[in-house]
Amino acid sequence: MKIAVTGTAGQVVTSLIERGMAAGHEVIAIGRPDLDLADPASVVRALSATAPDAIVSAAAYTAVDKAESESDLAFAVNGAGPGAVAQAAKALGVPLIHISTDYVFDGTLDRPYVESDPTGPTGVYGASKLAGEQAVLDGHDDSAVLRVAWVYSPFGVNFVKTMLRLAGDRDALGVVGDQVGNPTSALAIADAILQVATNMVADSSPELRGIFHMTAPGEASWADFAQAIFAASAARGGPTALVRPIGTADYPTLATRPANSRLNCGLIARVHGVTLPDWHMSLDAVMDRLQPMAL
């Protein structure tokens, strides 16, 4: 299967290239200058030239706090951009998988969110991603939107690598303990994307399309996650630090983070047969690759 993916350097894109090649798929990553989500004409042109069997819309504007002062750019990339990707996929007659986020919710529920729960983003980033979801679903019936959360991997900048880097300089770290979510490995996300793409290429059933939540089983606060990272690091002879849970109010940010980022993934398990590994298992796999590498 030939898969075209938007972007060239993100955690999901890099993981998809690696896992796709390992599974015998051809994954073509396309980014700037050939494909610029802020330039819809370039999106259609670049994707059409690849003649893929499926398209993965993974590139995004992800600077959550900076988006508060760059709303036009965030909406151009995260809103209009995926709409152009949907236009290209429709013209080519191929399935589209679009990666979205838990930030489309306000985080006030006291249970994991299901796909039918009302959305209510609290910042520009979440609002722009919600606009992208709608643009994809309006623009191409043969689309699946996958909402992911708390993504980490051996690649790029992410929470795991930040914690390990900070532990190299500090004995103790204050980490937010009143936000809860599902830590999810980009490597596991990539494997799941490949399964969803395979299903959609082989079967045109409407139930395989639409919005799905796709995170790892198991929940944690950021402080819990940090403690697990340091435990795994210590077991491998790597850096560690004492974690001191703090409140969201003690770590102010420009954009409001959801207090509850937990996503219920029962639908994608039933419809696509996709269940990601527990996050503890995936964390161990990532830590094995990060150490003894320089972080």
Q: Residue 125 catalytic? A: yes
Catalytic residue among 103, 125, 152, 251: 125
How many whole angstroms separate alpha carbon 237 and alpha carbon 89? 47
How many whole angstroms separate alpha carbon 158 and alpha carbon 19? 19
Residue pair 134/183 in contact by the 8 Å Cβ criterion? no
Residue pair 121/130 in contact by the 8 Å Cβ criterion? yes
Q: Which two tokens stand for residue 195?
A: 């399964």
Q: What are the b/e assignments for 98-137, b being 16+ CB within 10 Å?
A: bbbbbbbbbbeeeebbebeeebebbbbbbbbbbbbbebbb
How many whole angstroms separate alpha carbon 124 and alpha carbon 126? 6
Active site residues: 125
